[in-house]
Chain A
Amino acid sequence: MYYVDNVVLGLSTALSLGNLLYCFLGVFLGTAIGVLPGLGPVATIAMLLPITYGLDPTTALIMLAGIYYGAQYGGSTTAILINLPGESSAVVATLDGHQMARNGRAGVALATAAIGSFVAGTIATGVIVLFAPILAGFAIQFGAAEYFALMVLGLIASVVLATGSLFHALAMILIGILLGFVGIDVNSGLARYSFGSMQLSDGIDFVVIAMGVFGLGEIMANIHEQSKQITTQKVTSLWPTREDYRRMWKPILRGTGIGSVLGVLPGGGALLSAFAAYSIEKRVSPNRAEFGHGAIEGIAAPESANNAGAQTSFIPMLTLGIPSNAVMAMMVGALIIQGIQPGPSVITENPTLFWGLIASMWIGNLMLVVLNLPLVGMWAKLATIPYYFLFPAILMFCCVGVFSLENNNFGIFLMAGFGLFGYALKRLGAEPAPLLLAFILGPMLEEYFRRALLISRGDLSVFVTSPISATLLAVAAILIVIVLLPGVTQKREVVFKED
């Protein structure tokens, strides 16, 4: 009964006219921006976040979620049609998807991606419905020490699974936490690192950092790249043949399974899911010889996986308040702005938000299929807009968006500074995503750390005497050790090299 009641509650929330409208708007805008190269989902959400401030929390989250999976899907559309991945997780779709398009089967590739995404979205939504309440029920008994340990594990795991350097990722985490100190300290009322500025004593808005580092920084890094000569493949028949269906259903289910599991893990989500599903499919498929030459399995599996991963990455965010990647960090930030404390109590205190969001994910996935297949031509055209025309417009949206946060131009100056900072990091080869994660978690991390030690009267052993906290911290330590062991690292390299 518990599930039936709540699914009914969710559907009735998601199907209200306003929420449907914003879900559609989110999916539409997300797809449009996802189609554009050089603007990932983090910058997209940062840009559109100010629009949601006036909405009620449920509607805001529904719209943001729509933007996220819209962007995900839009990225693959252009990857297939013009070999231009709109964002990183769509890179996999260029491998076989674009080959199919060159073989004159662009329509089938798009339809396969749509069917795969929809099936995966449906199953992943089911996974959330089943497991999220259980996880939240477990986490509700957590005290300050356990929460601290959980956040440490979340941060560590998210960088261990990502690519790049663990050492520099840890340094980014420290910088993120340091930036999080800026502003009034809740316990003492002291304005830390405000340099005497009124604006800084309110703290730095995470939208400013996200737009600066991921929006401006990205633009600066891309600017001198010549726009590519683009040839759009013609879309002929959309409908897969009976043989296509026979070949795609197993990869779709396997992809969904892989994506659903990897999405939950910190650092997982769409990108890792898509890559893992592709490399596994390449191994088990009876048609592995065709991979790289337009195998339908090569598009069905990663597209299903990336959508499933995008959906299930909401589980740790909604139930534990732990963002598993930068996009989810933005969602946590959005919840806090809406006055909702992220964590296991969301499900009991805001059931409409929780179940409404989940129901809207399924509806949003349906909208994606309906929206995308007929509009494919338009999306492809959008992606061919030259970059020199695009980035000034993106700058405009970033500037106006940051101004609207506080109706103040101070944030724009800050954003310019963070843009430069993000550019420097990018050029020097460091990945800034952990910085954003740590910045958003930082204040909570500090609060739980201080509270845990206040309760234990300064006894640091509190983090290891609680079995839950000890386990979580031990897992975090083991993850770091694993990266330090050379053998394991090499094995991982091999897995990803084959893509």
Chain B
Amino acid sequence: MKFWGDDVLKQSAIGLGLIYLTLGALGLAIGLGYPMGSVARMGPGFLPIVVSSLLLAFAAISIFKGLAAGRPQLPSVQLLAKGAAPVMTVVISVVTFAAVCRVLGLFPSTLLLILMSATASPEFALKPKPIAGAVIVAGTFSYIFVKLLGLPLPYINMPG
């Protein structure tokens, strides 16, 4: 354990600082709307305000530290941009699953999730064999979840 951490962390100090800044500012802005109370009888806003303020202090220190390091802070952006496409593919496939699982039923949604997310990997290709595998996995597990474990979702919703 070092206080500042390794080189990656030193380079990403601004990036992390901005994350702290966002969360701390959001926490403080909303927290100020709650009754503060006194130290003896704390209102619901007391600790959120304290914790958000502390986080803002951490944000300031982290950003200052990053700026003081003098190095170009591109790495933060680069670090995040590297591999952004597959990451977004995973996020989109999960969000799609959430959006359609009630409408389409578990089996088609799971199949969609598996096939969509698999395209995030450079090694996956939409060929008959992997598709068949995805159908089998989605079909079998959806059946287990819905029919045997009683998950309250339709197995498959026929259109119309």
Q: Please list the residues of chain A having a beta carbon within 8 angstroms of any beta carbon in chain B.
A: 159-171, 174-175, 177-178, 181, 185, 187-188, 190, 192-193, 216, 219-220, 223-224, 226-227, 386-389, 391-393, 395-396, 398-400, 403-404, 407, 409, 412-413, 415-416, 419-420, 423-425, 427-430, 446, 449-450, 453-454, 456-458, 460, 483-484, 489, 492-493
Contact = CB atoms under 8 A, between A and B. Distances in A.
Contact of B94 (A399, A407, A430): A399
Contacts of A171: 16, 20, 55, 58, 62
A409 B152 contact: no
Contacts of B121: 223-224, 387-388, 391
Contact of A489 (B1, B39, B114): B1
Interface string B73-105: 000100110110011001101110111011000
B61 to A, nearest CB: 8
Q: List the 7 shortest-distance A-B pairs measured between CB atoms, nearest first.
A: A165-B5, A458-B40, A388-B121, A412-B98, A429-B8, A428-B12, A458-B39
Given A171-B16, A227-B123, A403 B151 contact: yes
B8 A454 contact: no
B87 A162 contact: no
B101 A167 contact: no
**Prevailing SS type, chain A contact patch:** helix
Interface in B97-123: 97-99, 101-102, 106, 110, 113-115, 117-118, 120-123
Interface of B: 1-6, 8-9, 12, 15-16, 19-20, 23-24, 27, 30-31, 34-35, 38-44, 46-48, 51-52, 54-55, 58, 61-62, 76, 79-80, 82-83, 86-87, 90-91, 93-95, 97-99, 101-102, 106, 110, 113-115, 117-118, 120-124, 130, 133-134, 137-138, 141, 145, 151-153
Contact of B34 (A190, A219, A428, A449): A190
B87 A220 contact: yes
Nearest to B47: A446
Q: Which of A163, A171, A223, A457 has its CB near the most chain B CB atoms (within 10 A)?
A: A171
A396 B3 CA distance: 38
Nearest to B3: A166
Contacts of A483: 1-3
11 contacts: A164-B6, A165-B9, A170-B58, A190-B34, A387-B121, A395-B114, A395-B117, A399-B94, A399-B110, A427-B12, A428-B16
Contacts of A415: 94
Contacts of B95: 412-413, 416
A175 to B, nearest CB: 6
A419 B90 contact: yes
Given A193-B30, A419-B90, A164 B5 contact: yes
Contact of A400 (B20, B124, B133, B151): B151
A404 B118 CA distance: 23
Given A185-B44, A188-B43, A168 B94 contact: no
A177 B47 CA distance: 10
Nearest to B82: A427
A148 B126 CA distance: 55
A220 B92 CA distance: 12
Contact of A391 (B19, B101, B117, B137): B117
Given A220-B91, A395-B90, A428-B79, 19 more contacts: A168-B16, A170-B58, A174-B55, A181-B27, A192-B30, A223-B90, A223-B120, A388-B121, A391-B121, A392-B118, A396-B113, A396-B141, A399-B101, A399-B113, A409-B102, A427-B82, A429-B9, A446-B47, A454-B40
A181 B82 CA distance: 33
B101 A403 contact: yes
B5 A188 contact: no
A216 B95 CA distance: 12
Contacts of B83: 220, 223-224
B2 A175 contact: no
A476 B87 CA distance: 38
A51 to B, nearest CB: 9
Q: Which of A177, A178, A187, A224 has its CB near the most chain B CB atoms (within 10 A)?
A: A178
A181 B48 contact: yes
Contact of A392 (B1, B44, B98, B134): B134
B51 to A, nearest CB: 5
Contacts of B153: 403
Contacts of A493: 2
